[in-house]
A and B are shown apart, each in its own frame.
Chain A
Amino acid sequence: DGGITQSPKYLFRKEGQNVTLSCEQNLNHDAMYWYRQDPGQGLRLIYYSQIVNDFQKGDIAEGYSVSREKKESFPLTVTSAQKNPTAFYLCASSMRGLAGASSYEQYFGPGTRLTVT
């Protein structure tokens, strides 16, 4: 299960606290993504980054923030502004996010299950 890692596997927080989820990859991939998964639903895109020091909002970015200071790392912060943060969070990476890529395949990390009470 190497390549892309997420930590921790389970995370518990009190309401009102910010929490940062880690995502690291050693695949030399340019693009990285954060998804949220709720029971009975597909994966919804929170943020994505096609290159270091650049990122774009996905479909459900409100209440989340990211940074991309290194190619290998794309941490996600769930802020107290996120109204329903309890979910399974998945990080992914791909060779390139831009058009013309030779491979579009996204590789997923093992996920972090966040519970906020």
Chain B
Amino acid sequence: GENVEQHPSTLSVQEGDSAVIKCTYSDSASNYFPWYKQELGKRPQLIIDIRSNVGEKKDQRIAVTLNKTAKHFSLHITETQPEDSAVYFCAARYNNQGGKLIFGQGTELSVKP
């Protein structure tokens, strides 16, 4: 069935290090993969997204890579800062369900100064 698996569930890094979060999806027809950042008690906010016709996308310290064959995509944050601490969610868009998004379970990232 429809599923998005996200790992790890928690991640702790030192300031300045890189962080990588990985997701796998089940529907090969999925064509859109967003990443959201959610600070405590706040709304999720889109930080980067990628479509299925692209293998990689970068925006300053954030990058996302997509491997359609393996059906997995990853978020890479370089030079992490304490303000990067938050919960990050990946999602995949399912074409055969009216385009709804299926979300991963979330990764709580902690950046220690």
Contacts and interface: CB of A to CB of B under 8 A. Distances in A.
- From B43, B45, B102, name the one whose CB has the most chain A CB atoms within 10 angstroms: B43
Interface residues of B, number: 24
Interface string B25-58: 0000000101010000011111001000000000
Contacts of B93: 104
A110 B46 contact: no
Interface residues of A, number: 26
Nearest to B95: A99
Contacts of A108: 36, 43-45
B93 to A, nearest CB: 6
Interface of B: 4, 6, 9, 32, 34, 36, 42-46, 49, 89, 93, 95, 98-106
